[in-house]
Amino acid sequence: MIESPNSSGKAAVLAAIEANREFFRIGGRDSVARRREMLRRMLGFMEKHKDEVFSALNADLHKSMYEAAVTEYLPACDALRYLIRKLPQLARPKRGGISWMNFPARGRLVPEPYGQALVFATWNYPLLLALEPVAGALAAGNRVVLMLPEKSQRTTQFFRWMIAECFPNGEVIAVREELEFDEILNEKFDYIFFTGGEAAGRRVYERAAAQLTPVTLELGGKSPCIVEKGANLSLAAKRIAWGKFMNAGQTCVAPDFLLVRQELKEEFLVELRRWIRFFYGEEPVSNPDYPWIINEQEYGRLAKLSENGRLVAGGERNPDRFCIAPTVIDGIDWDSPLMEREIFGPILPVIGFQSAEDILARLLMRPKPLAMYCFGGNRRFRRTLLDATSSGAVVFDDVVMHFVNPELPFGGVGASGIGAYHGRKTFETFSHAKPVMYQSTLFDWPFRYPPFQGWKLKLIKLLTGK
């Protein structure tokens, strides 16, 4: 990878932000053709420099080329291709309904950009979770300030290079050390898109509220995974092991804890251990395809968490690499430190249960998760789970894969986030659907004008049932 351009400094970044404000202040708009050209430049750069992408993700998170391609590069390219292909249709005004009181008017919904969007990227999927919202904001006609994560330094360097090459006119501005977290929030933006932890998300929400700035918050949370009677235990264990330990568990939508029917638990744990060995071998910490923890601080936090409960799989650690093997822990209760907050690492606590009613009651007492997963269960149980609980998404007999479906919006609810994106929803998130009404001048209903007497009064009494 070539060296990224030198930081342009705080003053230059603030001047570029102000220039984009001025662009919208004087009525500037990027045509659909120009937006598609910007997206094509991004896609072309990604395709030309995919080896540098893989190198950066390996340097930051020790992702293998295969995992980097499947979880970041290919979904990011697919998101760009989707927007390039669909943008003329997405940006076209839509017909809006008209009430009888407005007849014979015509209504339209015209998508317009908010203006300047602030996008906070995050370190666990530093390519995909930055590029997709940036692409959506550009597709909707916005200009973008991208706040890059500090922890994934090589991918941050790659983004600086890409933005310098693809956006020499400042349509996208990269920021890291030029402005601190609180400094960037002092600036006035027209939309804020944040991906990260709940504590930082609250700070973003508070500062946005002070300026009445609309937000999307993608926050994560403790996503439960239920294994109930009727589940294919081997397939469930295979999919859970993949979804949980991909990216060393540093995935916001990964299963955070397991709820397994007590009579199935021992057999299920046998299958889970088998699939972990199949995926990562007898020594995962030496496996070149197994990712590492992002830094020493996160490694220390996770190492301490892994000392709770009864170890039933994994537990090996390599402090020199910040690597923790896929770890499964039994003997956990609802008050364990492992159940206090999102684990965000390769540790999977297991809780056995006897009663489906008890599990549902427990879940209803907890904050709303980003996802809820369920393997097995009869039709009544699944219907109750779907109707009685609230979560960003519900997935039956799989984990994580809903994230890559552009036809299903992705986002949280309550403590797990506000708003959603992916596919069409990404464009809609960064667009204001402006209602426009065209009223006829050939006819004018007299009933709305005073004086309100005679037939008008009789009509309104008839309509209101008085």
The mean pLDDT value for 396-400 works out to 97
Lowest mean pLDDT among 107-111, 182-186, 312-316, 455-459: 455-459
- Hey, what CATH topology would domain 9-219+419-433 get? Aldehyde Dehydrogenase; Chain A, domain 1 (3.40.605)
- Hey, what CATH topology would domain 224-406 get? Aldehyde Dehydrogenase; Chain A, domain 2 (3.40.309)
> Which residues, listed in sequence order, are joined to residue 234 by a DSSP beta bridge?
none
Reported residue count of the chain is 466
Q: Is the pLDDT confidence value at 3 over 80? A: no
CB atoms within 10 A of CB 102: 14
pLDDT averaged over the chain?
93
The mean pLDDT value for 163-167 works out to 96
pLDDT digits (tens, 9 = 90+) for 237-269: 999 999 999 999 999 999 999 999 999 999 999
Lowest mean pLDDT among 175-189, 378-392, 446-460: 446-460
Q: Is 374 labeled as catalytic in the residue annotation?
A: no
Distance CA(251)–CA(133), nearest Å, equals 17
Q: Is the pLDDT confidence value at 74 over 80? A: yes
Lowest mean pLDDT among 96-100, 122-126, 170-174: 96-100
The mean pLDDT value for 338-344 works out to 94
> Which residues, listed in sequence order, are joined to residue 350 by a DSSP beta bridge?
258
Distance CA(373)–CA(394), nearest Å, equals 6
Per-residue model confidence (pLDDT) at position 223: 97
Distance CA(338)–CA(260), nearest Å, equals 16
> Which residues, listed in sequence order, are joined to residue 260 by a DSSP beta bridge?
227, 352
Exactly one of 72, 178, 218, 228 is catalytic; name it.
218
Q: Is the pLDDT confidence value at 4 over 50? A: no
Exactly one of 166, 252, 323, 374 is catalytic; name it.
252
Per-residue model confidence (pLDDT) at position 443: 83
Domain with CATH 3.40.605.10 in the chain: 9-219+419-433
Per-residue model confidence (pLDDT) at position 452: 85
Distance CA(310)–CA(339), nearest Å, equals 15
Greatest pairwise CA separation for the chain in angstroms:
90
Helix, strand and coil percent figures for the chain, each rounded to 5: 45, 20, 35
pLDDT digits (tens, 9 = 90+) for 415-465: 999 999 999 999 999 999 999 999 988 888 888 888 888 888 888 888 888
The mean pLDDT value for 368-392 works out to 95
Per-residue model confidence (pLDDT) at position 8: 60
Domain with CATH 3.40.309.10 in the chain: 224-406
Q: Is the pLDDT confidence value at 2 over 60? A: no
pLDDT digits (tens, 9 = 90+) for 13-45: 999 999 999 999 999 999 999 999 999 999 999
Q: Detail the DSSP E strand segments found in 121-159.
A: 143-147
**What string of DSSP letters covers 350-369?**
EEEES-HHHHHHHHHHSPPP
Q: Is 150 labeled as catalytic in the residue annotation?
A: no
CB 269 within 8 A of CB 351: no
